[in-house]
């Protein structure tokens, strides 16, 4: 059997201790695997290119959602004789994608899925804008949530799930409403908003269930426009945490395979917690799928 190649990001929140913890979990399950520490984007890209050339098609992204995003983008950039199978081991401050599949941040539970899980062919999102093309697995967003992602990158990874909440507090004074126009399928929203989220999976921001009805296999994005005032943010965040916000009048929900987001002034954009540029933004599904081992 082709062994797993586990790509560990040493700059993720669990840092230099991650490889040893992951190796111990793999050994506990007697799982054939090669653990490779990929320090930096260039090394990660070259490792995946080499895997594609050598016909190694069982890959594991070990890190946070940002690490998974980099791996997904490089997988999508390669030509594969055999479609790759991707596993994920949480080793970062944010591992929200795994929450959609009921795994969470536990390394041993994630390794168990490499042994006992099943492959799912899941949707991959594509964000198009001034940066070019960037794939995403989990969530793309603009506005306040993207400002929060920018602030989170400046905070220490040891904060873990508290990193996002802390980043909200740090970035909150700079949040501004914008006039936005969102086109999603045959539906359109025009008005003032604080943030717009386009979700492929369910969770982001360290466990916030922003899209409880989202599915990664239906070819549809769950697009939500948040129109609340800044005074309403705390109460609405509590609802989002539990996925109980969809009936709130300050949340407008659209569902489509593609959405275009334009703003009267440039607004920050992030995908999978990684800032990538400013609006306008076009997001879509249907550009490709990945076999995910969960």
**Is 4-117 assigned to CATH 3.40.50.10330?**
yes
pLDDT given at position 93: 66
Q: Quick one: tokens of 213?
A: 């009805």
Q: How many CB atoms lie within 10 A of CB 141?
A: 33
Phi-psi region of 213 (alpha: psi -120 to 50; beta: other; left: phi over 0): alpha
pLDDT given at position 15: 59
**Numbered ranges of CATH 2.60.200.40 in the chain:** 126-287
Bridge partners, 64 (sequence order)? none
pLDDT given at position 14: 59
Q: Which CATH number fits domain 126-287: 1.10.1740.10, 2.60.200.40, 2.40.30.110, 1.10.287.1080?
A: 2.60.200.40
| Distant-in-sequence, close-in-space partners of 218: CB < 8 Å, separation ≥ 6 | 123
pLDDT in tens, the chain (294 residues): 689 999 998 877 555 678 889 999 999 999 999 999 999 999 999 999 999 999 999 999 999 899 999 999 999 999 998 889 999 999 876 689 999 999 988 899 999 999 999 999 999 999 999 999 999 999 999 999 999 999 998 998 778 778 889 999 999 999 999 999 999 999 999 999 999 999 999 999 989 999 999 999 999 999 999 999 999 999 999 999 999 999 999 999 999 999 999 999 999 999 999 999 999 999 999 888 999 999
pLDDT given at position 185: 95
E-strand ranges in the chain read 4-8, 33-37, 58-63, 85-90, 119-123, 125-129, 132-136, 139-143, 178-184, 187-193, 195-199, 221-226, 251-256, 258-263, 268-271, 274-278, 281-284, 289-293
**Numbered ranges of CATH 3.40.50.10330 in the chain:** 4-117
Q: What sign results for the dihedral spanned by CA atoms 195, 277, 164, 197?
A: positive
d(CA 72, CA 122): 12
């Amino acid at each position: 059997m082709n062994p797993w190649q586990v790509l560990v990001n040493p700059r993720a929140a669990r840092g230099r201790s991650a490889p040893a913890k992951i190796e111990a979990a793999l050994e506990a399950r007697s799982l054939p695997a090669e653990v490779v520490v990929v320090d930096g984007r260039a090394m990660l890209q070259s490792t995946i290119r080499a895997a594609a050339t050598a016909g190694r098609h069982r890959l594991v992204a070990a890190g946070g959602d940002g690490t998974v995003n980099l791996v997904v983008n490089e997988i999508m950039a390669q030509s594969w004789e055999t479609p790759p199978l991707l596993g994920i081991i949480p080793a970062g401050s944010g591992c929200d994608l795994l929450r959609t599949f009921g795994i969470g941040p536990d390394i041993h539970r994630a390794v168990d899925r490499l042994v006992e899980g099943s492959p799912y062919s899941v949707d991959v999102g594509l964000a198009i804008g001034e940066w070019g093309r960037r794939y995403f697995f989990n969530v793309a967003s603009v506005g306040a949530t993207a400002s929060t992602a920018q602030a989170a990158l400046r905070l220490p990874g040891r904060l873990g799930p508290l990193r996002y909440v802390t980043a909200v507090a740090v970035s909150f004074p700079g949040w501004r409403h914008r006039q936005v126009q969102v086109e999603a399928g045959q539906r359109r929203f025009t008005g003032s908003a604080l943030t717009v989220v386009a979700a492929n999976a369910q969770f982001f921001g360290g466990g916030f269930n922003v899209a409880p009805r989202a599915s990664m296999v239906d070819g549809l994005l769950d697009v939500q426009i948040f129109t609340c005032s800044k005074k309403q943010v705390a109460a609405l965040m509590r609802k989002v945490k539990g996925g109980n916000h969809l009936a709130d009048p300050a949340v407008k929900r659209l569902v489509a395979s593609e959405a275009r987001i334009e703003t009267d002034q440039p607004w920050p954009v992030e995908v999978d917690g990684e800032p990538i540029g400013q609006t306008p933004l076009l997001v879509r599904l249907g550009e490709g799928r990945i076999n995910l081992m969960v």
